[in-house]
Amino acid sequence: MKARISVVLLVVWAGLAMAGETNTARIAVYFSPDGGCTQAILAELAHARATILVQAYSFSSAPIAKGLIQARQRGVNVRVIMDKSVEEEPHSSASTVWRGGVPVLVDAQHSIAHNKVMVIDDQVVITGSFNFTHAAESFNAENLLVIHDRELARKYSDNWQAHAAHSKPFVATHP
């Protein structure tokens, strides 16, 4: 019952925020553990046609890494920004996606680059507390929002670009 109420409130909020505008957001919400967050991300990645911008604090999900690499192989422009902790984390998927041809940047300008965001094709935003990890899907209490809204996607994309401008290229040191 709680999840249903949350979704209704989010849809009502989006409707109120967009009152008087022609842009209508579609929003889906997922909760972990075992609430389908990873599957929701994979479904959106599979539909990507042009761009995927990722900002990740913690990223060790093998299925999500594979989804990003597959998108890259389909010709999607996939780019990732990660927190500086990735340089010391041997279990991070940063090395996997980097070796798969996905450019990875490291945002070391902030104490923590704590974003958990994907922007797909300038129209979908994936965000929430959900880290892109197996633990987030299977053990943690986290949330994920999938928002289809071009204006919001533009704002997140602009933020991604601002962080990319001060980030440095990642080079894998772990296998």
| Tokens found for residue 138 | 């299977």
User: Which position among 121, 122, 134, 148 bears the catalytic label?
Assistant: 121
116 is catalytic: yes
Of 148, 128, 147, the closest CA to residue 32 belongs to 128
155 is catalytic: no
The answer to whether residues 50 and 119 touch, using CB atoms and an 8 Å cutoff, is: no
User: Which position among 66, 114, 134, 148 bears the catalytic label?
Assistant: 114
User: Which position among 83, 84, 116, 149 bears the catalytic label?
Assistant: 116
Place of tokens 């340089």: 87
Question: How many Cβ atoms are within 10 Å of 50's Cβ, its own excluded?
Answer: 11
Tell me the sheet residues that pair with 105: 81, 169
Of 128, 125, 132, 133, the closest CA to residue 143 belongs to 128
122 is catalytic: no
Using CA atoms, how far apart are residues 11 and 13, in angstroms rounded to an integer?
Answer: 5
**Residues taking part in catalysis:** 114, 116, 121
